[in-house]
Structure 1
């Protein structure tokens, strides 16, 4: 992250209580994004699979946390090996780290950096889950999560942010995760859905969000947590760059939300709540890699571009026939690619680094570096994720049966329903599992 584009101070740093406290708060904010994502996704699916969608995000908090402590931090941020992976025995189990040992020339402890980065590792596989709604065995998803972070996320994080990683050394700018998080997750989602196939009734049955209030709540929590996600990625440095990123994290999603709604009104004749939420998330995705290198005016442009392009992109699944349930490809992959490439146009050369984009006299050099980073992460994640899904599908099976999918994955996988009003009113049996009609107004998705 910030270590990819700064140099060590001339004097040995000392622990800063202010920066340490700030980074702990940012870590908690990023942790909140995973439950926020669960609500965001959970409200977007049909009622019969809403609990499963919540659990597919929550389980990442358990699985990835343990793997990160055991070996993930070492693979991602340990001593470089061949510019592809890291490893440091002191980081295994986080057992060889002194409690006051500082991270890589910064003023925060290694433990603080490790827990901050942990929250990024947690939310990235959770992002993938939205593309697979309604049809994946929970046990298979849990195993996929463990394998995916090991084979894909930890190495890619090292490429992008680890000292010695090849994209790090190339000079690719990714302030907080456009490549390592969003392109990584979006490409993985595409790879998996190409293997496991479409939902029963795709393009035939209505598959509208069952609770738009949950979607809006989740979007609000994501936006709130994203301030920690983005501004915290400067690791508390006292040079104003984190403040610029904080401002841009507000500006870009605002522009993207307005742009998405404008496109939606022109294209479909309505301003929808789902469009507002999706537009805001698209803007947040796009500003994640670029917000530390551009001005607030640049953030407006980046957000507006992402809002329109991502709104258009979510309809591609109907044209090309891939079933991306909740538009992970259309928002996270497309938004991540846009944000990463637009660094090559909007980088001012006067914020996080002296690298300037095309619009600021920098020529095509930085754009070329960004394109290499985008292509490398996209292809690696797509291929590796598809292979993992193929192996799991051929061994333990990735999908529930067609009958179970139609009847409802919540009952099959979790023996629960999201809403049980059987005890209210007359003589309904307390053992009833009847599901009430959703109260939220149905809302069609863009191009659905």
Structure 2
């Protein structure tokens, strides 16, 4: 049996834990609780935003109305991305294509997003689909898919145009694809403007630093050092021979720089830009002649185990990462001092902690299902976050069935508000309606009277 075949079998055997372990963990997690119809859409017609919404419902939330759960959607999108990656590399050698798909299983952002943040993969899949149709010179499908992709944000659109342009210049030739590219870019920008897409998708992310980018340095989301090392080696070897590697390097740096504004999408895009280069390095190591078969297999296995370790470390951190002590104290208090039928309103990212630690129903959570319209609930959440009219705010809170409101330090420091007294914080000053029953470590819990 050829060594490439043995290596391929070994690769896929090693990747099994990266899906089996997370799926087992997720089988024990509580799903979002279904809720009755909270409010008729007409109630929202007279309420206005005081500023731009902090949560932007988009195409992803519309799709969730027809898919049973976010987790299923994530797995379907991951499978779609695997297919598109394989199709885009059709002209490459079979081993190279296998290595690319194999690396997708061992890059933290892809598998992690498939299991807990499918929104990232949706727009990556749309961009890859647009690139695939662009490659096949299918103008209409390219325009339609890229238009759907452009509804995320203007920044998404511009990055997508840069990716398509890079591919056109270095693969298809600028003259042969200039008209299609200009038409696609114009359609994308027009769609983004007509759909009132934000400049950046409203997303709270950590400040850009090495510790926020690399999993081994503690990033909750990021890339692995082994993956970056493989990609960097390929770019270094190809730097002078292929100018495209220089452009991809610049696009990767730009994607990483946009992480504070685009969150996981920027990291995912950088990962896909570097993916062929990381695969090239693996292919180079596999096909070159080694004097000792023993060192060959030991070296390759060590590299694969390093990639596997990065993935498992990322998944372990993503699923078992506990909030700080101040958050635990606040959630424990909520569990002890609020009635079992309480509905706690907070940022959607806090929903899972509310339901798992406080054991109370969260009004919004990122783990949504099709049992309720996620776009509608995000719309209500945005109205509440921005509302400064006391009567309208209280009416909306009571109509939504909210009994308690949890405010966290992140929410008060950029995740939603920047100054004291903005939006909902102004309404919460009324002590006759909102009784502050907990305030410690930056966490405030209000009870609706």
TM above 0.5, one fold?
Answer: no
TM superposition score normalised by structure 2: 0.29
**Largest Rg, 1 or 2:** 2
